[in-house]
Amino acid sequence: MTVTDDVPVGNSAPRSGEPLVELVDVQKWYGGLHVLQDINLSVGRGEVVVVIGPSGSGKSTLCRTINRLEPIDSGQILVDGAALPQEGKALARHRADVGMVFQSFNLFAHKTILQNVALGPIKVRKQAKDAAEAHARELLDRVGVAHQADKYPAQLSGGQQQRVAIARALAMEPKVMLFDEPTSALDPEMIKEVLDVMVDLAERGMTMIVVTHEMGFARTAANRVVFMADGRILETADPETFFTHPESDRARDFLGKILKH
């Protein structure tokens, strides 16, 4: 991993006590299914929160409501003190400030790696092409795929694609980054290269909400672990406490299952 400098990224230098993302009494239904129930969560600047829980517990949905890829039915979501806008230009602007990394990478298949990273800054942030591409190359270098800049996504390994996806999100200089199971579509030997990039990001002070079952990452980088089941947050604790002394039966049961792997 090439670490080019130690400057904190984005505008989210650690300043604890000041919440950057706040969810207040959030409720969401899919038809009759209550997928998010009474969700209250506050994430401070520079904080790294890992969300963990069984399949179908609503982790992805939670992640996606924060940049309003999914609308909520009631409650409130604030990012940097402002409520999420409805559809339209204001929402697009909000999304530009919230980076998102998907399980399936979702790199733009018809664009080169460099274009993938520079597209948002050019079209959304209206940066000059040269400046955007120069910055994109720096980011690609930082995530260790600079030499692939002119290839297309399909020509890269999964781990490389996911690192490019992280660079693409970082290029927007987001205030917070959301990760939805960023390593679960990867072969085991590629997981570490992606987690290394994420740990580096955490160390630089990026505010992160990460859905993952990688306990190693949670232990190294997370300030807090949030455990979800059936659409509710059942437990919130620091990683050490959560992994060694989970409070609820659901959490103990769940940890028992993933530890066996």
Ligand X SMILES: Nc1ncnc2c1ncn2[C@@H]1O[C@H](COP(=O)(O)OP(=O)(O)OP(=O)(O)O)[C@@H](O)[C@H]1O
Q: Contact positions toward Mg ion, by CB under 5 A? A: 60
Residue 86 binds to ligand X (criterion: CB under 6 A): no
Choose, by CB under 8 A, the member of 21, 172, 195, 210 that binds other proteins.
Answer: 172
CB 167 within 8 A of CB 182: no
Residue 168 binds to other proteins (criterion: CB under 8 A): yes
Give the Cβ contact number of residue 93 at 10 Å.
11
Residue 71 binds to ligand X (criterion: CB under 6 A): no
Residue 208 binds to ligand X (criterion: CB under 6 A): no
CB 118 within 8 A of CB 130: no
Q: How far is the CB of 112 from ligand X (least distance, A)?
A: 30
Choose, by CB under 6 A, the member of 19, 47, 52, 60 that binds ligand X.
Answer: 60
Q: Taking phi first (over 0 means left), then psi (-120 to 50 degrees means alpha), and beta for anything else, what does residue 94 get?
A: alpha
Q: Which residues contact residue 186 at a Cβ distance below 8 angstroms, ignoring those fewer than 6 apart?
A: 158, 159, 162, 194
Residue 32 binds to ligand X (criterion: CB under 6 A): no
Would you say 78 or 124 has its CB closer to other proteins?
A: 124
Residue 106 binds to other proteins (criterion: CB under 8 A): yes
**How far is 28 from 256, CA to CA, in rounded Å?**
29
Dig out the tokens for 84 from the structure.
Answer: 């999420």
Which residues are at the interface with other proteins (CB under 8 A)?
A: 67, 69, 87, 89, 92-100, 102, 104, 106-110, 119-120, 123-124, 152, 154, 165, 168-169, 172
